[in-house]
Amino acid sequence: MSTLRWEDPANTGANRLPGHAYFFGYDTPEAAATGQRGLSQGFTSLSGECRFRYSDHPARVTASDLAERAVTHEGTLAQGWATVSVPHLWQLDGYGDLQYTDEGYPFPIDVPHVPSDNPTGVYQFDVELAPNVVGTERILRLDGVEAYVEVHVNGVEVGWSKGSRLAAEFNITAAARDGHNLVTLKVLQFADSTYIEDQDMWWASGVFRDLYVYERPAVHLADYVIRTALTQDDAAHLTVGLTVTDAASEAGQPRIGWRVRSLDGAQTLASGETGAPQGEADIDVVIPGVSWWNPEVPTLYRLDLEVHDGAGRPTQHVSARFGFRDLTIRDGLMWLNGSYFAMHGVNRHDHDDRFGRAVGMDRVRRDLELMKRHNINAVRTAHYANDPRFYEMCDEIGLLVVAETDLESHGFANVGEIGRITDDPAWRTTYVDRIERHVLAQRNHPSIVMWSLGNESGDGCNITAMYERCKELDPTRPVHYEEDRDVRDVDVISTMYSRVSQMNDFGEHPHPKPRILCEYGHSMGNGPGGLSEYQQVFDRWDSIQGHFVWEWCDHGLREVTDDGRVYHRYGGDYGDYPNNANFCIDGMVFPGQQASPGLTEYAQVISPVKIEADEGGLLVRNGFYFTTLADIDLVVTDLVDGVVTRSLTVPAGPVPPREHAVVEVPAAAAAPGHEVLRTVVVLRRSATTWSAPHSQIGVYQFAAGPATDASAGSSVAPVALLPRRPLTVIEADHTLTVSAASSTWTFDTLTGRMLTWRGAGRDLVVRSPKVQMWKPLIDNHQQEYDALWHPRHLQVMQESTRSVRVERAEGTVTVVVETTLAPPVLDFGMRVTYRWELFDDGAARLSLSGAPYGDYRDIVPKIGVDLGMAVDCDQVEFYGRGPGENYSDSQTSQVVGRYATTVAEMVTPYVVPQDYGNHQDVRWAMHKDRHGRGLVFAAQESLLNWSAWPYTSEQIDAARHVTDLVADPAALTVNIDHALLGLGSNSWGSEVLDSYRVRFEEFSYSFIMAPLNAGDMDPNVVVRAARGAHPHPDTPTEA
């Protein structure tokens, strides 16, 4: 057995103070009411610049490193020392090596040992302390140090601690002195505790949260526990347990005066005074008429405390912010303040793309505000305790918290025994310490609705011990732990990545305990898809009371190229091995804190206000649990062929929680022969602390007139698109050239490929349209690639021409090309027919069909065609689903309309380049240059998928970072697709649902292409004229 402190799971620290609520004492009630810890008694921050020395072995740290200032007589740094700014992770400042693994430990498993070459950092802080009042204690607090830390003050070792993401406090009174002090920390990257800190993130270390000194007078509040309960007559029963430390020599006992006040202090709800014999005191009061805390109206109050010593002198003022909140479990459901609720949440790691886990609180605040703006009402602290101010923000902003402690031993899964130390009694102390310190620190927060014992650590006796200690410290909240699969201990049953059908089974056959889905919707790259189907199940069954998407933010680390381009690194980019590559790039928020398309979709899926079309107007469903819709407006917009014809705003009205009502809205005006759509945008009328007034919380769209297909308007009388001119045909040297009006098409008669299309006085199509079953691989299709596509070489299918024939008729030249599209090596493929119809008004129709042969009929990435357009035809407008990208299983947040943008603006900056930018339900899409000359693509018998890139598919597939992408100088890639495989979330989770699968089967579709000559020509006119002049053979026309 090791004799090293950092290899001893039976001991988690020495001289560390017992855990307690996070609070500070102040000299005046006015200062206490501010809640600013910088104004508290003796507060001195150590965060900022300090001296730092890095070593590759703990034994290289000398006694003088810990006891003497590393400064020469000339005032310069001693040899081997540098200056760093904390909080930080030293690897991000260039010391030691970064490594990313999902679950594997970065060293051999040899419990409880860690590498002898254990990277070690020494920090020196010069700290000025004001003269000490007799009896006052000086406390050094470390909010986060990874993984093992020793504390030295003026050369005296004060104590040590393990537990990276749990606060540690030390009484430094005996070692500190008035004036200048040297505080030194010795930090080791690895300890026995590392075996339970394997949480799918960068392996990095250092002082990554704030550290500071504060003071406690001789008579002070040591801890408090606030509990609230709803009485039978709807009043609030408030109990507060107070612990007072009396180190003074006064004869009398300390007393505490207390007041319950509104947050602004304007109203006092209750007050009193109590003694503290033997250091304990209680407040017990019933208060009627309070506003109960909930995530929709997170009302907070103040408990103002004034501590008096035995002589009656005030020594300390404490102002504790709290909320009245009653959480119970009844009939297998959780109830908040007597009301049902469900959690629509995310899993959140601490991450900043510049500083890693050393996140500033301004970024944390932006995270939480972004969640609220996207209708998220809950967050799971995956997989550790957060900075204590995080919970204060959740109280204030209104987020329900599944408060997970700092525990995961996932790496043992690699040796087939994930619960090896979880079921080892020798580790009981370490495990129980994790939940004990967490609960003691955070149990007064109304936002915390349940505790979580950790993540992916197997099951065993230590989970039971954690549960028992947790319930002893806080019997008011349920306890969660997903790997307690038999629900032996926990109060809430949980699974992760259960499929939609399985969740529905769980709902149909509810467990006696409440259920949540603690992880699903793996958000790696483009995705996740299928969230809408999940939500339908969640909304159907009350017994499913929470779901948490994995995860909030990509863990990419920001880098800048020599020429100033920004990109983000991931596993393997630092030479680290083993690594899990970009598996850390799995968030709904990009590393720079921008919302991804996946987050936009999630916001719509969980929108608390649902709108349906109704004969009397709109059926409005209130999905809030605690508030009416009195502050909700509906902006109703009618569109004809994508053009707004009317817009009005109507209030949703005071629809009660979980109820519905019909809001009267005038019917849309009829427009025969045209498509009429109604869009409803749901807005929150008032500003909040996290959103501006009139912020969007949902959008819906309905057909408001007769249903139309892609050929709407084709039955109208033909309108001249361009002057008709006789077709001229020249065939020579295996080249076919056809001219009409302003269009000239050139074909290779050996391959059947269109070589160019020149129209409107310029080159338009510069790379031949080609049927494709492949598109750039997305992360969520990697498993399909590995199992299906790569073994069958679908990414390198080859096309061979079997025949080319040219047919002439009045006003039309038809080029029919028969090809086979098939992979090398194997004996299956697709027999493809291209049918080009070239019209005398300069338009063309491309009809595509395919018939498979061989035995493969499984899924493929897409069925479609891509072509190359001139690079300056990058001004685009389309009538389809937008404005953002959308796919078959991720489209509810996007509505049909007319949108104008550029090819460059449509780029979605996925950290690892992959397929992006698709738009579904496209009626037409137009590409033009800055003079208005270009080409419009119009759907005929079926709506289209359309996207456009400045890169080729091969470039996107080959790129590993956005800076690898260089715009193709030869052409824009335009995709006009029949069907695309849904996204799914199978990077780790759910496969694409059956209804969104595209199979290697027969297909046929067509579209019209027409040149644009006039920059001011409305594309609707062009499209209607083209469809009218050249109806699809399957489209009925008027007699």
Q: How large a percentage of the chain has pLDDT more than 70?
A: 97
Predicted pLDDT at 717: 36
Has 818 been annotated as catalytic?
A: no
Mean per-residue pLDDT, 23-52: 98
Whether 221 contacts 214, CB under 8 Å: no
Q: Which of 396, 408, 456, 533 is catalytic?
A: 456
pLDDT over 80 (residue 718): no
List the single range of 90-99, 241-250, 437-446 with lowest mean pLDDT: 241-250
Q: Locate the DSSP E strands across 887-949.
A: 895-902, 919-922, 924-928, 934-939, 944-949
Identify the residue whose tokens are 């004229």: 1025
CA distances (Å), origin 728, targets 260, 724, 745, 839, 994: 91, 12, 10, 11, 48
Mean per-residue pLDDT, 566-573: 98
pLDDT by residue (tens digit) across 225-261?
999 999 999 999 999 999 999 988 677 899 999 999 9
Residue 371 belongs to what H/E stretch? helix 361-373
Mean per-residue pLDDT, 296-306: 98
Q: What are the DSSP calls for 491-546, one per residue?
A: SBEEEES--HHHHHHHHHS--SS-EEEEEES---SS----HHHHHHHHHH-TTEEE
| Range 870-894 burial, b when 16+ CB lie within 10 A, else e | bbbbbbbbbbbbbbbbbbbbbbbbb
Predicted pLDDT at 1029: 81
pLDDT over 70 (residue 856): yes
Distance from chain centroid for Cα 352: 13
pLDDT by residue (tens digit) across 684-715?
999 999 999 999 999 999 998 754 555 443 33
Question: DSSP label at 668?
Answer: P
Predicted pLDDT at 1016: 55
Has 396 been annotated as catalytic?
A: no
Angle, alpha carbons 918-924-925 (nearest 5°)? 60
Q: Which of 487, 603, 556, 507 is nearest to 909 (CA)?
A: 556
pLDDT band for 1, please (50, 70, 90 cuts): low
Say how far apart CA 618 and CA 615 lie, in whole Å: 8
Predicted pLDDT at 919: 98
pLDDT over 60 (residue 73): yes
Predicted pLDDT at 1036: 44
Which ranges in the chain are annotated with CATH 3.20.20.80?
Answer: 328-603
Predicted pLDDT at 250: 72
Identify the residue whose tokens are 């310069």: 76
Question: DSSP label at 107?
Answer: S
Which ranges in the chain are annotated with CATH 2.60.120.260?
Answer: 5-216
CATH topology assigned to domain 5-216: Jelly Rolls (2.60.120)
Say how far apart CA 1015 and CA 572 lie, in whole Å: 49
Contacts of 416 (CB under 8 A, 6+ apart): none
Say how far apart CA 406 and CA 162 lie, in whole Å: 11
pLDDT over 70 (residue 719): no
Contacts of 87 (CB under 8 A, 6+ apart): 47, 144, 206, 207, 208, 209, 210, 355, 358
Q: Which tokens hold the place of 122?
A: 């020494």
Whether 118 contacts 190, CB under 8 Å: yes
Predicted pLDDT at 383: 94
Residue 400: strand pairing partners: 378
Amino acid at 645: T
Question: DSSP label at 131?
Answer: P
Predicted pLDDT at 1035: 56
Predicted pLDDT at 1025: 79
Q: Which CATH number fits domain 328-603: 3.40.50.150, 3.20.20.80, 3.30.1950.10, 3.20.20.70?
A: 3.20.20.80
**Strand, helix or coil for residue 129:** strand
pLDDT band for 742, please (50, 70, 90 cuts): confident
Whether 980 contacts 1013, CB under 8 Å: no
Predicted pLDDT at 1038: 35
Which ranges in the chain are annotated with CATH 2.60.40.10?
Answer: 219-326, 607-703
| Range 200-235 burial, b when 16+ CB lie within 10 A, else e | bbbbbbbbbbbbbbbbbbbbbbebbbbbbbbeeeeb
Q: Which CATH number fits domain 607-703: 3.30.70.360, 1.10.3720.10, 2.60.40.10, 3.30.70.270?
A: 2.60.40.10
Say how far apart CA 985 and CA 779 lie, in whole Å: 9
Label the pairing between strands 197-198 and 408-409: parallel
Cis ω on the peptide bond leading into residue 87 (within 30° of 0)?
yes
List the single range of 273-277, 721-725, 967-971 with lowest mean pLDDT: 721-725
CATH architecture of 219-326: Sandwich (2.60)
Angle, alpha carbons 859-863-864 (nearest 5°)? 165
> In the CATH scheme, what is the code of domain 728-1029?
2.70.98.10
Q: Which tokens hold the place of 844?
A: 């063309």
Q: Is 644 left (phi over 0), alpha (psi -120 to 50) or beta?
A: beta
Angle, alpha carbons 611-497-469 (nearest 5°)? 105
pLDDT by residue (tens digit) across 108-150?
999 999 999 999 999 999 999 999 888 999 999 999 999 999 9
Mean per-residue pLDDT, 620-633: 98
Say how far apart CA 867 and CA 141 lie, in whole Å: 63
Q: Which of 519, 533, 551, 877 is catalytic?
A: 519
Whether 500 contacts 530, CB under 8 Å: yes
Q: Locate the DSSP E strands across 592-705.
A: 609-614, 617-622, 632-640, 643-651, 660-664, 676-684, 695-703
Say how far apart CA 870 and CA 898 lie, in whole Å: 23
Quickly count: other Cβ atoms within 10 Å of residue 574's Cβ: 16
Predicted pLDDT at 741: 83
Which ranges in the chain are annotated with CATH 2.70.98.10?
Answer: 728-1029
pLDDT band for 1015, please (50, 70, 90 cuts): low
274, burial (CB in 10 Å: exposed 0-12, middle 13-18, buried 19+):
middle
Q: Which of 682, 665, 541, 680 is nearest to 607 (CA)?
A: 682
Contacts of 1002 (CB under 8 A, 6+ apart): 849, 850, 851, 852
| Range 656-668 burial, b when 16+ CB lie within 10 A, else e | ebeeebebebeeb
Q: Phi, psi at residue 340, to the nearest 5°?
A: -65, 150
Q: Across the chain, what does the average pLDDT equal?
A: 95
Predicted pLDDT at 1023: 84
Q: Phi, psi at residue 219, to the nearest 5°?
A: -110, 115
pLDDT by residue (tens digit) across 872-928?
999 999 999 999 999 999 999 999 999 999 999 999 999 999 999 999 999 999 999
Say how far apart CA 773 and CA 299 lie, in whole Å: 55
Label the pairing between strands 844-853 and 1003-1012: antiparallel
CA distances (Å), origin 507, targets 376, 411, 516, 621: 22, 32, 11, 22
